Amino acid sequence: MSSLEVGKKAPAFSLPDENGTKVALSDLAGQWVVLYFYPKDDTPGCTVEACEFTSGLKGFEKLDATVLGCSPDSPEAHRKFIAKFKLKIKLLSDPSHAVLEKYGAWGEKNNYGKKSMGVIRSTVIIDPAGKVAHHYPTVKAAGHAEKVREKLAELQG
């Protein structure tokens, strides 16, 4: 299990986005970051979640927050996913699962009685000081983006 505790420093990361550009948590210091983990590009739940974060992006920008999705998919797969659904969020590629593991988003899943290792759909809100402000250890895709935006507004007081 991860050691994600509210008030503790969020684990550092540096991952390539859909264009192969490195995105590091340290580069985002001073702003709110919504980092959400999802299993796979262009699958039903992941598409719903990505589209909702995209359609709600203005709301996150008003709250000075950057939204980042992260999955084990390649930057190329991310580019196709973004193009197909006109996504406006950055998608990070973590094929080694190193960051997923640090954030408790990789582990045993139980799908219809079949156990397997995989991505646990979850979201972390990181404050401008780089600390964990809120953690959703498991997430239902539909309606999640709006819940996160409301929580962000609440956290900002």
Domain range summary for the chain, segments of one domain joined by +: 14-156
User: How far, in Å, are 36, 62, 97, 131, 153 from residue 94 at the CA level?
Assistant: 12, 28, 5, 21, 29
pTM (predicted TM-score): 0.94
List, by residue number, the catalytic residues: 46
Determine phi and psi for 23, rounding to 5 degrees: -120, 120
Determine phi and psi for 103, rounding to 5 degrees: -100, 10
- The DSSP element (H or E) to which 81 belongs, if any, is helix 75-85
Fold observed for domain 14-156 = Glutaredoxin (3.40.30)
β-pair type (65-71, 90-93): parallel
| One-letter amino acid of 36 | Y
Q: What is the pLDDT of residues 16-69, one digit of tens each?
A: 999 999 999 999 999 999 999 999 999 999 999 999 999 999 999 999 999 999
Model confidence at 1, pLDDT cuts 50, 70, 90, reads very low
Among residues 26, 41, 59, the alpha carbon closest in space to that of 148 is found at 59
Q: What is the pLDDT of residues 72-94, one digit of tens each?
A: 999 999 999 999 999 999 999 99
